[in-house]
Amino acid sequence: MDDNMVEDLFTGSYKTEQIAQKLLGRLLVHETAEGRTSGFIVETEAYLGVLDMAAHSYGARRTKRTEAMFQAPGTIYVYVMHTHALLNLITQEIGNPEGILIRAIEPYEGTDLMTSRRQKQGFQLTNGPGNLTKAMGVNKEQYGKSIFSSDLFINPIIRRDPVQVATSPRIGIPNKGIWTDHPLRYYVAGNPYVSRRKGMIDSNYGWK
């Protein structure tokens, strides 16, 4: 299995937790009429479907909102929370509603456009799931599309490799039993764009 190919990450050979880690360092790209923006993924969270009390698809809950979760791997699932659009990618075969929340990116292309959209700069530009979608112009228009055939995609060539992938419980998941403390959040250790970052900033932002 050649996981250098983006499609190979979503073939069913990898668990969602593995894909969440392998996406770190991948270049997320969005092409819009305003321009092209992109950034290296530095933080993700895995959501494990029908058994995961924190997942929207817990208990095989299938609604108009969650329908995208039951579609093919690579399907884009965008939902709005507190006015913020949150970007998720479905990871498993049709009918197995597991996915990954993209929590933060390190900007690469289109930084001026991101700054204009966010009215923020520096590490606050894309250091959270709502921040990165606003900076990149991602909204519910992308819902149900595929990262393999839309203007929101992962660059198949350009990538960076983390020195260390750190783990922790997911953020904002209270009162969900074992799922509250399950270490399903993954991030590039030492990268300043990680949300709710703790510890020192690595001189190379955590990349090899």
pLDDT for position 11: 85
**Segment 126-136 mean pLDDT:** 98
Helix, strand, or coil here: 58?
Answer: helix
pTM of the predicted structure, to 2 decimals:
0.96
Tens-place pLDDT, residues 89-102: 999 999 999 999 99
Q: Domains in the chain and their CATH numbers?
A: 6-188 (3.10.300.10)
b/e per residue, 176-198, with b = 16+ CB within 10 A? beebeebebbbbbbbbbbbbebe
**Segment 108-126 mean pLDDT:** 97
